[in-house]
Amino acid sequence: MDFDEPIHGKPTGAASLVLELLDDLSVFELKERLEILQAEIARTEKAIESKEVGQSDADKLFR
């Protein structure tokens, strides 16, 4: 995803995060936001790993 390119249509989900203005947030709010986003990244990475394992198992089954 190139954040410098214009987004066509209304972004949804995680893509909408890049459009949120951060200027009016306090340092505390920014740190809190960062902590939440880092937790979401970790959760997403675990979901990817789980799906890759499942895909690998399925691939082995059909070989």
For range 10-23, the mean pLDDT: 87
User: What's the pLDDT tens digit per position in 20-58?
Assistant: 999 999 999 999 999 999 999 999 999 999 999 877 766
Question: In which band, very low, low, confident or very high, does the pLDDT at 4 lie, cut at 50, 70 and 90?
Answer: low
Report the distance separating Cα 60 and Cα 58, nearest Å. 5
Could you tell me the sign of the dihedral formed by the alpha carbons of 43, 45, 51, 53, in that order? Answer: negative
Domains of the chain, by residue range, sit at: 24-61
